[in-house]
Structure 1
Amino acid sequence: MKPHLLGNLRAYYLGSVVCMGGFLFGYDSGIVGGVLTLPSFLSDYHAPAAHSTRTNSLAVGLQQLGAFVACFFIWPITNILGRRKALMLSSVVFCIGALIQTINTGSLAAFYVARVIAGLGLGAASVVVPMFSSEMSPKELRGQIGSFFQLFYTLGIFTSYWIDYGVQQRIKGGEARQWQIPIGLQLLPAGFLGLGMITVKESVRWLMKKGREEEARKSLVWIRGGDTAEVEEEFMEIRTGLEIERRETEGFQIKELFEKDNFKRCNLAFWVFVAQQATGATAFAYFGPQYFKLLVGGGSKDLLLTAIFGAIKVAACGLFVLFLADRVDRRWVLIAGAAFMAACQITCAVVVKEKPSPGQGKVTSSGIATVALIYLFVIAYNFSWGPLPWPYVSEIFPTRIREPGIAIGVSSQWLFNFVFSLTTPYMITNMGWGTFLLWGLFDAVIAVFTFCFLKETRGRSLEEIAHDTVLKPKVVEHIEVENYAGGK
């Protein structure tokens, strides 16, 4: 097999293995909203319907709090142990939390604690995965493989929705296994992530930083499919970039993050992930049944509509990753995606306000229209703000501050994931149609933010991006043309 083809296959394989962290994130995100509505769970945990809003809020929000905390502990750990061992550790921690959740303790307090523990593992993995993926992917495939995280996330959500729907239909409401099966299945992707690390090589750039050049060379040769002139050129480029960074500053200190250019990068990463959460898509992932109840009035259709929602997410994200990820400019896709989502959400708010659902599961033409708008919204999200923030943020940092930089960005994702997951049940209960209007206004602001502050990174090496801190989008496009003309 030709080195180029073998290298691409290995890059796809590594991306698939590490992005099981994304599948785990998605599966957990999707499973909990449905589980919390199952009669068996409500009975075993003595969770009265009158307190459902609080239960929903805490069961989801506390895990996001654990994930947020983990972001600040994992980057020094991955700097010491490497990417592979850090992901193994994340997998073990998550499995402990998932196992406690699966045991029928009958105590909501124990369930909440287990959610926090699982969140620690999930948050740690979400920091390391984009870091590892960006450092090992060839620049021609970096956007596509970096978007695997979102693709696997949507696959996880899709799987969880249909499992929730299946156990509701097939298992009697009084049996504990109705909720234990979907919760316990979290252990499978977590175990695959941890064990999968045995089959891949350590990050080339991390090995180079540690002075282990021979191992780094072997790792690069493995991931590129052979020892070729292009691989040697890339190895020298990585080594030169690291040598420049070592000369510029010796001995990393936290205060470096507050230096002008580094602070700009950290600030940008923070707000990119805040924007991703403020689109409203993650809230839909967690509380799909509750949202569709608001649109169509409850009944037996909530979980089915949520499962179809998950299938559309997978199809949209799959099409983007396979055919568009590295063929379109990140910046303009993010702008268009946010604008389209704003239109869908605001229109949905108007329809729900003017033609509210009559309840009792009666589906009206206005209900069908709002469901269609939400499906269009999720398609737009998975063509833009779903997959692209992960590769974008992992690309903008030089190696020297990549670990803390990505940790800052991903921590904001978990922080606002926590904020919105904690508040969304109350928004649905108290605001009704105003919930959709709020998300729509957020999306409009995000479109403006993207137009004003984001720059293009597609088709450029990490070393090139690392030494570019002030270029405007048009200048970046000009440089890309020059680089491709020069054979870079």
Structure 2
Amino acid sequence: MPSSKLVYNWYISLVAASCMVLYGYDASVFNAVQGSKNWVAYFNKPNTQIIGAINTSYTVGAVVAGFFLGGPLADYAGRRVGMAVGAAFVIVATFMQTFSPRGNIACFIGGRVLIGIGQGLALTAGPIYIGELAPSAIRGQVMSFWQMFYSVGSFIAYWVNYACSKNVPKLGEWDWKMVVLFQLLMPIAIIAQVFFIPETPRWYIQHGNRIEDARRSLQRVRDTEEEVEAELLTIREAIEFEAEAISSGYSALWKDKSVRKRMYLCLILNAGQQVTGQGTLNTYSTIVYKKVFKSASTIALINALNATFGILFTLNATWTVDRFGRKFLFIVGAVGMAICMIVVATVETQTPTIDGAKSLSVGIAIVFLMFLFAFFYKPSWGATTWIFTSEIFSMNVRAQAVGMCSQTQNVANSIVQQFFPTFLKNEGFYAFYMFGGINVLLAVFVWFFIPETKKVSLEEIDTLFGGSNHVEKGAEIVNFDEKQARVHSVELDGENKPVTTTTEHRN
């Protein structure tokens, strides 16, 4: 039986992982509403360039928040505040989108920008929170739920959309408004819980050396006092070294050669996550399936089933990521996705079209291949990219680095999403050969450049990238200071008698 502390650690991690539900829902909701004739008519039949701009507007907000706001907010006010503020932005933006005046696409786009900002804040704070509180032995398993919750968001969005698509005559314009409005569910749940879970001990020590607060935080998630004190000392040593020997903030991302190397690797990995084809499929699968199927409800059902299986596929990361390692999953996932993309392109382009659609057998084959693509993507480039990004940076730069690297996903996604609708319209499924080639290149990149990080503590991971061991260096500084603090000095009391005193320099 797992201990009560371990169960509680899973609970607080899943509260933080709920931020990913925001991302998964929003990434899927616009894909879903594109299949609504009422939405298309409500906004005066937007063309492919407007469709691309709606997605780009979201990514602009997310990139600005992730690059420039998420890290400073999570560092200054805490990881919990970062998640809560992000959720609050999503609530406001949801109302803007749902109740946009008829034909006013600018208001809808404005809501998309605000949602992007909210998610940029929440998606920076969330993985940092999990990485800093989860024990290193299960950190990979816990972080795999981060990506799984993306699938949970898609699951909710697509099944709500499917239910609405079956009741269009009754709902009217609410067939798409209901789908958008359901996005309120998760940000409200996050705000209701986030301030009842502990702040991370690393944040407490970094801000005012609040050792007792950090100790109380650890006592809520560790089984023994020995574990608490050992981890507390490790954190103090690492932060001591980072404070005295290296700088913090955005400039530190480029000054330190080891950190700079990690930035390059993570920027490529996070951009690669989106150009595998998954980001495009999650946004435009409705348009893709329209080339194969005629029924809107059939397409909605396929999207809903894909999201459902996505949850199950992501669960594979919980038992593979710490067993086989991050690097293994990256390579196997990329090779599997490459094969799926090449085969699906070949199947669609080399089979005849009958009455404007493919035969049922061809359609089933394409859907199977798309599901198989998700099987390879979810536990590898889906979950493992977030795990790797959240664990490889030291405390002094973690918030800024995670924010910038994770939002590189949106930079890459916005570029692809802007041109993909037109690309697909002009080239059809030949476009998928591009994704096949990209995945092959990503597998080669990981083979040569990405080190294995499974079960390495956060404070000692720097050594994998040519950096100093922050724990050992910090211990040297702490031991030197304590020796200096314990030097006996002779003082005179009020009667000029010598008194020997010992002063503790630290708590």
Q: Does 1:376 align with 2:372?
A: yes
Match of 1:350 among 335, 346, 350: 346
TM-score by length of 1: 0.91
Q: Look up the match of 1:233.
A: 230
Which of 433, 446, 449 is the matching residue for 2:445? 449
* Equivalent in the alignment of 1:204: 201
Question: What residue in structure 1 maps to residue 52 of structure 2?
Answer: 57
- Taking the TM superposition and a 5 Å limit, the aligned residue runs for 1:470-481 are 470=466
Listed one character per residue, the Cα deviations across residues 338-375 of structure 1 (whole Å, up to 9, x for unaligned) are 00110110111111111144355553323322221111
Residue 25 of structure 2 is aligned to residue 27 of structure 1: yes
In percent, how many aligned pairs have the same letter?
Answer: 27
**What does residue 478 of structure 1 align with?**
none
Match of 1:317 in 2: 314
- Scaled by the length of structure 2, the TM-score of the pair is 0.88
**Residue type at the aligned position of 1:145:** V
Match of 1:85 in 2: 81
Q: Do residues 261 (structure 1) and 261 (structure 2) align? A: no
Distance 1:180 1:174 in 2: 9
Question: Which of 330, 334, 338 is 2:330 aligned to?
Answer: 334
Is 1:133 matched with 2:125? no
1:57 shift after superposition: 1.4
Does the 8 Å contact 2:253/2:263 carry over to 1? no
Structure 2 residue aligned with 1:475: none
Contact kept in structure 1, 2:83 and 2:123, CA below 8 Å: no
Stretch moving more, 350-359 or 128-137:
350-359
Does structure 2 conserve the Cα–Cα contact (< 8 Å) formed by 1:338 and 1:385?
A: yes
Given the alignment of the two structures, is residue 213 of structure 1 paired with residue 211 of structure 2, yes or no?
yes
What is the Cα deviation at residue 252 of structure 1? 4.6
Q: Residues of 1 paired with 2:466 and 2:294: CA distance?
A: 51
1:465 corresponds to = 461
CA positional deviation for 1:299: 5.5
- When the two chains are superposed, the root-mean-square deviation of aligned CA atoms in Å is 1.9
Contact 1:39-1:173 within 8 A present in 2 as well: no
1:43 aligns with 2:41: yes
379-388 or 292-301: bigger deviation: 292-301
Consecutive unaligned residues of structure 2, counting only runs of 5 or more, are: 468-507
Question: Compared with structure 1, are the counterparts of its residues 254 and 359 closer, same or farther at alpha carbon in structure 2 (3 Å cutoff)?
Answer: farther
Structure 1 spans left out of the alignment, 5+ residues: 472-488
User: Which range moves more in the overlay, 71-80 or 292-301?
Assistant: 292-301
Deviation at 1:290, TM superposition (A): 1.2
Q: Deviations over 1:163-210 (max 9, x none)?
A: 111101023277222111110111110111222212201011111111
Matches within 5 A, 1:91-110: 91-106=87-102, 107-110=104-107
**Equivalent-residue separation in structure 1 for 2:354 and 2:253 (angstroms):** 58
Alpha-carbon separation, structure 1, partners of 2:363 and 2:249:
56
CA change 1:154–1:332 in 2 (3 A) is same
| 1:332/1:256 CA distance change after superposition, 3 Å | closer
Paired with 1:98 and 1:190, the residues of 2 have a C-alpha distance of 10
Aligned residues, how many?
A: 464
Structure 2: distance between partners of 1:440 and 1:13: 38
Q: Which residue of 2 aligns with 1:476?
A: none
Equivalent residue for 1:112, pick from 109, 114, 118: 109
Q: How big is each residue's C-alpha offset from its partner over 1:54-82, in whole Å with a ceiling of 9 and x where there is no partner?
A: 33212222111110111121211111101
Q: What amino acid is the match of 1:341?
A: M
Counterparts of 1:307 and 1:388 in 2: how far apart (Å)?
23
2:7 equivalent to 1:9: yes
Q: Cα offset for 1:7?
A: 2.1
- Equivalent in 403, 409, 428 of residue 405 of structure 2: 409
| Aligned partner letter, 1:367 | G
Specify the alignment match of 2:435 in structure 1. 439
Does the CA contact (< 8 Å) of 1:40 and 1:173 recur in 2?
no
CA contact (8 A) 2:78 2:203 kept: yes
Instruction: Give a deviation string over 1:88-119, Cα, whole Å, max 9, x none.
Output: 11111121111111114111111011110111
Amino acid in structure 1 at the alignment position of 2:52: S
2:479 is aligned to: none
Q: Secondary structure at the match of 1:305?
A: helix
Task: Give the Cα–Cα distance (whole angstroms) in 2 for the partners of residues 160 and 16 of structure 1.
Answer: 19
